[in-house]
Each structure stands twice: as C-alpha cells, then as structure tokens.
C-alpha cells in the first residue's frame, strides 16, 4: 500500500490517515483546537517551515476539516477555522492526548488539564459504546466486515477466532 493511495483503501482508518496521518497535520489540528487561526500564528507556535505548513493547511482545507475565512478585505487576509467535520476529530485528538498523558509525561505529569465546562471537573476522555454507555477497550470489541467485503479486510486468523 502506497502512502498516496491510502484514500483509496477499503479501510476507514487508512482513509482517515490520508487526511490527518502525519505529525505536522496533527499538530496543526492541536493548534486549531487551541484557537489558533492565522498562518503566521501556526508558523510561530509550531516552528514549521512555511512550505510544509501551507501544504498541511491546504490538505486540511481540501478535506473540509478547515475552512478559510476572510478576516480582512484590503489586503485580503484569511484565517483557518475548524468545520463541523474538523470538530468531530476532537475525540480522536483527545484520545491521543490521553495516551500521551498516561505514557509519555514526565514526573511532572500531564502538561495541560482538560476541564469539562458543564461540570467544572478536570477530566480525560473515555470512549464508550454508543448503545450501552460502557467504556470500550480493544478486548471488548469484535470486528465484522461489511457483507460486500467479507474475507477481504480482516486477517485469516481473525475469521477463525470469530467462528470459535
């Protein structure tokens, strides 16, 4: 599988990675969730080259994760804002942050506290089942291919395990 062909794969993770699957893109998203909107501010905060930043912002805009909006007409100046589609990436970014807080923080602990506005409590995101509300871990989830893709996506040993 070639990197530039990820968006053609019959896999939601591969297709998602075709949009957000490199470190600079994830850091641009982090900054977007922190309220950064302008090119120069992204550049300063990330220490990224203009060329790489322009490429990542273009890719996120083409994927409708960000949208460019004018904030000044003369001369024209635009900023990048998260779309609804972009905001929907927040749980994924929060999950990565939570993993980093648990496994990559130093002795000082997590660098940023996340406080839920509704209850005022420091929190960490938890992925839960949409149907019963139980917290999810990988061991508690079975995977089943779509009928049209039966036998094409999951490894052979997975099919044997599912039948057992």
What's the pLDDT at 42? 97
What's the pLDDT at 3? 58
pTM value?
0.84
CA dihedral 118, 121, 126, 128 (to 10 degrees): -50
Higher-pLDDT residue of 127, 2: 127
Q: What are the tens digits of pLDDT across the range 99-154?
A: 999 999 989 899 999 999 999 999 998 999 999 999 998 899 888 878 777 777 77
* CA 96 – CA 148 distance, rounded (Å): 32
What's the pLDDT at 87? 97
Higher-pLDDT residue of 61, 1: 61
**What are the domain boundaries of the chain?**
1-86
Question: Which distant-in-sequence residues (6+ apart) come within 8 Å of 81 by Cβ?
Answer: 32, 37, 66, 67, 69
**1-86 architecture in CATH?**
Orthogonal Bundle (1.10)
What's the pLDDT at 158? 66
Higher-pLDDT residue of 160, 150: 150
As a residue count, the chain comes to: 164
Q: What are the tens digits of pLDDT across the range 50-94?
A: 999 999 999 999 999 999 999 999 999 999 999 999 999 999 999
The mean pLDDT of 36-41, rounded to a whole number, is 97
Q: For residue 35, is pLDDT > 50?
A: yes
């Amino acid at each position: 599988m070639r990197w530039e062909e990820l968006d053609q794969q019959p896999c939601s993770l591969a297709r998602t990675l075709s949009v957000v699957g490199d470190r600079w893109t994830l850091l641009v998203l982090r900054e977007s969730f922190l309220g950064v909107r302008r090119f120069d501010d992204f550049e300063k905060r990330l220490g990224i080259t203009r060329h790489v930043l322009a490429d990542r912002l273009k890719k996120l805009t083409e994927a409708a994760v960000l949208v460019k909006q004018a904030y000044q007409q003369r001369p024209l100046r635009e900023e990048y804002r998260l779309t609804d589609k972009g905001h929907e990436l927040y749980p994924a970014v929060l999950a990565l942050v939570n993993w980093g807080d648990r496994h990559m923080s130093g002795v000082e602990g997590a660098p940023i506290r996340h406080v839920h506005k509704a209850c005022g409590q420091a929190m960490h995101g938890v992925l839960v089942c949409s149907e019963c509300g139980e917290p999810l871990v990988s061991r508690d989830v079975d995977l089943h291919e779509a009928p049209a893709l039966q036998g094409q996506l999951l490894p052979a040993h997975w099919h044997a395990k599912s039948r057992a």
